[in-house]
């Protein structure tokens, strides 16, 4: 049985090292920060790790969202929002959740559809 990652565990290796590595990747992406700091990036990544309970999954999510942000010319605020979103849906069926989210949108405009497409296609190249 795999032990759960607890908040105190984040202060020790290998979790501390993973969070630092992913935070550096985010910083090096040089996305417009719009007020976010490196500390904000660290908190977001730590929260994602606690949510996924999986180092490899956390690494994949962060790397994929950062790559998408760079390709789509997004900001760090967008990255933060999308990492929180990914953590939130980690335990549910991705396609069903996205369809429900789309169906519940107050207004079905280009921004909502763009967000849906970005999220539904995020992991298509990884075969997930």
pLDDT value, residue 15: 96
Q: How confident is the model at residue 1 (pLDDT cuts 50, 70, 90)?
A: low
Q: Are 79 and 65 in contact (CB under 8 A)?
A: yes
Six-digit token string for 71: 């390709």
pLDDT digits (tens, 9 = 90+) for 78-117: 999 999 999 988 877 778 888 888 888 889 999 999 999 9
For residue 11, what are the contacts with CB-CB under 8 A and spacing of at least 6? none
Q: Domain-by-domain residue ranges, the chain?
A: 14-126
Q: What is the pLDDT of residues 10-59, one digit of tens each?
A: 999 999 999 999 999 999 999 999 999 999 999 999 999 999 999 999 99
> Which one has a higher pLDDT value, 108 or 65?
65
| Rounded distance between C-alpha atoms, residue 108 and residue 35, angstroms | 29
The length of the chain in residues reads 128
* pLDDT value of residue 25: 98
């Amino acid at each position: 049985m795999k032990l759960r990652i607890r908040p105190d565990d984040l202060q020790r290796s290998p979790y501390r090292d993973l969070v630092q590595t992913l935070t550096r990747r985010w910083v090096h992406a040089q996305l417009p920060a719009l007020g976010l700091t490196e500390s904000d990036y660290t908190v977001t990544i730590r929260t994602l790790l606690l949510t996924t309970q999986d180092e490899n999954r956390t690494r994949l999510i962060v790397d994929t969202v950062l790559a998408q942000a760079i390709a789509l010319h997004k900001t760090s605020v967008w990255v933060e929002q999308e990492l929180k979103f990914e953590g939130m849906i980690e335990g549910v069926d991705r396609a069903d959740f996205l369809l429900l989210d789309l169906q519940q949108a107050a207004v079905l405009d280009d921004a909502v559809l763009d967000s849906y497409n970005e999220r539904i296609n995020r992991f298509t190249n990884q075969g997930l």
